[in-house]
Structure formats: structure tokens, C-alpha cells
Amino acid sequence: MNHWGKVDQDDIMRARNILLASGRRTPREEVDAYRVLAQVSPASYLPRLAKALQRLSHDSSAGKRHPAGLALCEEAVAAARSIDPADPARADVLYGALHSCQRESYRLGRRAEGLALRAEMLAIGRAQAERSGNPAVRGLRDHPHRPIDLPHRRRRVRPRSRRFPRSDEPPG
């Protein structure tokens, strides 16, 4: 389905040039290009947009997380949900987007939202297992017992106690 009337042709050409350029592009440029191209050809570019949004939310080139990481992850989930349900790659793209959104929710202390996203991931895993006939359900084993990114949940590491002889005790 084409939406040529909704998107300026110059924007489409700029987006394609950004993606085809031989130089290195930033994650932000990639996301902007995929946003434009996903309007023109959703079947081809929505999965790429979802993955690019996930990469931008976890961009390590700046040395820290993107300030709008949760919003980017939620946009990735929305893009993944917009993929045609008949597309065989939809489940994997949606699962990855939900996973990154869940981690970001846990990181921000939104445990209830993270658990709701995990439940949706588990439903996707069960549906995939049922279709493939594989008894292993995706979403059960990769769930951490506790969120690692929450500082109040980190386990304290106790230093080993060494027994040093007191100066008045003979060694040994």
C-alpha cells in the first residue's frame, strides 16, 4: 500500500540517501529515515524502525541511556504492533521491542508496567511454541528473578573476612 500523497518526495529521497550513504550514520539519523520510509512502505520499514528505535534508546555512544528511552521503547512497541500479523517476523520484532520496553520500565521503577509487558511476551512465546511444536516457551527462562537495574534490589557483596593474627599472638 502506497501513501505517496502523505509524504514529501524530497523527504523520501533524503531518507534513502541517509540509509544508502557510505559514511557512518548516527542512530538518530537512522530512526528519522525509517520513520519517513515506514509511512511509504510499512511492510519493509516498520520492523527496521522498531529495531532502530530500540538501538537509539540504548545508545552507548554517549556513555549513558537516552533521556527519552522509555518513550522510544514505547514507539518501538507501537511500530512492531503495526506490522502485518501475517508477517512471519512480526512475533520476533514485537518480542524484542517488548523486551527492551520492559527493561526500561524496570530501570525506571515501573514494575507493574514491566510485568504487564512480560505477560504479553509470554503470550507471544506460547503462541510461537504452539505453532512450532517446540515445548520450550520463550519468555520463561530469560526472565530475571529480580530486576538487575534497580539499585534497591542489588545484592550486597560481603568481603571475605580475613583473620589477621594480633600482634601479641604468635603466628600459626
Residues in contact with 107: Cβ distance below 8 Å, sequence separation at least 6, in sequence order: 65, 69, 147, 149, 150
Residue with cell 529521497: 13
pLDDT score at 163: 57
- Burial of residue 147 (CB within 10 Å: 0-12, 13-18, 19+) is middle
Give Rg (Cα) of the chain.
Answer: 23
Contact between 139 and 125 under an 8 Å Cβ cutoff? The reply is: yes
pLDDT at 161 over 60: no
pTM (2 decimals)? 0.73
Q: Is the pLDDT of residue 25 over 60?
A: yes
Query: Which pLDDT score, from 0 to 100, does residue 103 have?
Result: 92
Per-residue pLDDT tens over the stretch 34-69: 999 999 999 999 999 999 999 988 866 666 777 888
Give pLDDT, residue 154.
47
Min mean pLDDT across 66-75, 80-89, 121-130, 151-160 is at 151-160
Other beta carbons within 10 angstroms of residue 54's beta carbon come to 26
Q: What is the pLDDT of residue 49?
A: 96
SS3 121: helix
pLDDT at 4 over 60: no
Residue 83: the pLDDT is 95
